[in-house]
Structure 1
């Protein structure tokens, strides 16, 4: 069955976005207890490009499949987890890139570079990182992994914040998130 990416965010209602989020079937990584571990020889660059043995992974279907196996531990290390093994993966900045955002019915919905849709809230918080001179915004995705907002998405979010208030915070699903490092 060929892959069908979700429709563009701009054309979806919040209910349609929620349906897309609920339809995403992820492997039950949290339930797996692999007996062996090792190095995947993979890397996710700061721009979101995935590499294996130094060469880029050009098949987006492979990237989407691997991304569903990603987890990040309490020490900040990223892992690809299967029922049989747990393999480390180098992540230069964030495991995902947020490439679009829309405001729908008071909530913020994001599209990731893996075509996943995420609605910001308690389970998927926004976090301001880096320095105030070079701000970066991160979105919690799942299992400790985050998405860094790319420049255009960061600008879209800033425009939403300015249109709705002082430009320093945004709200989604009843949560308020600062856009400047604390």
Structure 2
């Protein structure tokens, strides 16, 4: 019997927003983006993902979200994050 079948993976996000599982980079784009959609924080501020089999806590080198690009558009500046979401930069921030 495989003793590791119920072992939770070690998930780590580095300072550049790259995800790793058990030391191996998560390079598959859709897996990476899916994990980002599952990312949540508990009441103590710890990040985790939960696919329905229990929480897997994330080790962070810094923050899980990183600005990857900035785009100037007619309606303002937009920050492109590592999870491919966009946030408009508000002029009062």
Q: Which structure has more helix as a fraction of its residues?
A: 1
Q: Is the 8 A contact 1:110 1:117 kept in 2?
A: yes
RMSD: 2.3
Please give the TM-score of this superposition, normalised by the length of structure 1. 0.42
Please name the residue that 1:64 is paired with.
33
Q: Which runs of 5+ in 1 are unaligned?
A: 1-37, 122-170, 178-182
- Point out the structure with max Rg over C-alpha: 1
- Given candidates 60, 84, 90, the residue that maps to 1:115 is 84
Question: Paired residues, what number?
Answer: 87
Question: Larger deviation: 77-86 or 104-113?
Answer: 104-113
Alignment deviations for residues 75-97 of structure 1 (CA, whole Å, 9 cap, x no partner): 22101023342211111111122
Could you tell me how far 1:39 is from its partner in structure 2?
4.9
Q: Secondary structure at the match of 2:10?
A: strand
1:42 aligns with 2:11: yes
Please give the TM-score of this superposition, normalised by the length of structure 2. 0.74
Mapped partners of 2:43, 2:56: distance in 1: 16
